[in-house]
C-alpha cells in the first residue's frame, strides 16, 4: 500500500508526480491548509509521521520516508522503469541534478526574500536565480533532457522543483518565464516537462 501525504499545491507535488509517472496506485492524503492550525488532527498526524512536520511523507507497506527527493529516488529504485536508467553514470547525473535543484534552487533565503517587502532584496534574489537557472539552460543547449535524450527522474525532480503543476508552467511563486530572461533552452524543456499528462492531471488534484 502506498500513501502520499501532502497537497499538490506544495512540495508534495514532486512526489505525487513521481507516483503518477510510474503509473502506481496510491492513496492521496492532501494535507495542506489545516497544518497551520497547531492542534488540528492533520498537524498532529503529520508530526507523528515526520519529525520535521513537513509534507511530503510517503508510507509504503508500513515503511515511512520523508523529503521529496528521497521519496522520489526511493520510488525510482523500488519500482524500476525507464525513468531510472540502469547505468551508474546516468544515475550519478540524476542524483547530481536532484541535489542541485534542492541546494541551488529550493533555497530558504530566496523564499524569505520573496515574502519580505524589501524591493532591493527581491531584485537581488531574482538576479541570482536567473544566473543559477542559466546553468540549467546551458546544460540543456545540447540535449532535450537532462542526462540525455529521454525523460528521466533528473527531469522530473528538477522540473517539479522549478514548477509545481498549479504554477502554469512558470517558475515557482514568482511565476518567472525563462524565455523572458533569454533562457530559451530551459524554456523549451520546461514546457516539454510541464505539458506531460502527469503535470496536467496533478494540476487538478487537491
Ligand X SMILES: N[C@@H](CCC(=O)N[C@@H](CS)C(=O)NCC(=O)O)C(=O)O
Q: Answer yes or no: are the C-beta atoms of 24 and 61 closer than 8 Å.
A: no
Among 5, 8, 11, 158, indicate the residue that binds ligand X (CB under 6 A). 11
Least distance from C-beta 114 to ligand X, angstroms? Answer: 13
Least distance from C-beta 17 to ligand X, angstroms? Answer: 13
Stretch near ligand X under the rule CB under 6 A, chosen from 50-58, 122-130, 145-153, 168-176: 50-58
CB-nearer residue toward ligand X: 10 or 181:
10
Stretch near ligand X under the rule CB under 6 A, chosen from 22-30, 53-61, 112-120, 137-145: 53-61
Least distance from C-beta 87 to ligand X, angstroms? Answer: 26
Asked if 35 touches ligand X (CB under 6 A), the answer is yes
Among 19, 22, 42, 54, indicate the residue that binds ligand X (CB under 6 A). 54
Q: Which of residues 94-113 bind ligand X (CB under 6 A)?
A: none
Among 22, 55, 75, 183, indicate the residue that binds ligand X (CB under 6 A). 55
Among 56, 85, 147, 169, indicate the residue that binds ligand X (CB under 6 A). 56
Please give, one letter per residue, the 3-state secondary structure of the chain.
CEEEECCCCCCHHHHHHHHHHCCCCCEEECCCHHHHCCCCHHHHHHHHHCCCCCCCEEEECCEEEECHHHHHHHHHHHCCCCCCCCCHHHHHHHHHHHHHHHHHHCCHHHHHHHHCCCHHHHHHHHHHHHHHHHHHHHHHHHCCCCCCCCCCHHHHHHHHHHCCHHHCCCECCCCECHHHHCCHHHHHHHHHHHCCHHHHHHCCCC
Stretch near ligand X under the rule CB under 6 A, chosen from 54-62, 90-98, 150-158, 187-195: 54-62
What residues contact residue 196 under an 8 Å CB cut-off, 6+ apart?
21, 151
Q: Which of residues 64-83 bind ligand X (CB under 6 A)?
A: 67-68
Asked if 10 touches ligand X (CB under 6 A), the answer is yes
Least distance from C-beta 173 to ligand X, angstroms? Answer: 10
* Longest alpha-carbon distance in the chain: 51
Name the residues that contact ligand X, by CB under 6 A.
10-11, 35, 53-56, 67-68
Amino acid at each position: 500500500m502506498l500513501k502520499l501525504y501532502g497537497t499538490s499545491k506544495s512540495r508534495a507535488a514532486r512526489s505525487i508526480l513521481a507516483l503518477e509517472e510510474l503509473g502506481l496506485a496510491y492513496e492521496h492524503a492532501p494535507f495542506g491548509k489545516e497544518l497551520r492550525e497547531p492542534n488540528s488532527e492533520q498537524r498532529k498526524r503529520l508530526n507523528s509521521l515526520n519529525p520535521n512536520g513537513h509534507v511530503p511523507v510517503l508510507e509504503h507497506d508500513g515503511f515511512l520516508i520523508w523529503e521529496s527527493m528521497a521519496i522520489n529516488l526511493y520510488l525510482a529504485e523500488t519500482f524500476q522503469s525507464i525513468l531510472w536508467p540502469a547505468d551508474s553514470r546516468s544515475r550519478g547525473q540524476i542524483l547530481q541534478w536532484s541535489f542541485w535543484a534542492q541546494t541551488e534552487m529550493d533555497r530558504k533565503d530566496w523564499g524569505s526574500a520573496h515574502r519580505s517587502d524589501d524591493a532591493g532584496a527581491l531584485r537581488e534574489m531574482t538576479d541570482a536565480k536567473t544566473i543559477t537557472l542559466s546553468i540549467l539552460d546551458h546544460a540543456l543547449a545540447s540535449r532535450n533532457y537532462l542526462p540525455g535524450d529521454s525523460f528521466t527522474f533528473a527531469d522530473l525532480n528538477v522540473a517539479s522543483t522549478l514548477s509545481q503543476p498549479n504554477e502554469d508552467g512558470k517558475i515557482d511563486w514568482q511565476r518567472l518565464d525563462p524565455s523572458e530572461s533569454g533562457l530559451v533552452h530551459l524554456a523549451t524543456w520546461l514546457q516539454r516537462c510541464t505539458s506531460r499528462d502527469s503535470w496536467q492531471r496533478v494540476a487538478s488534484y487537491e
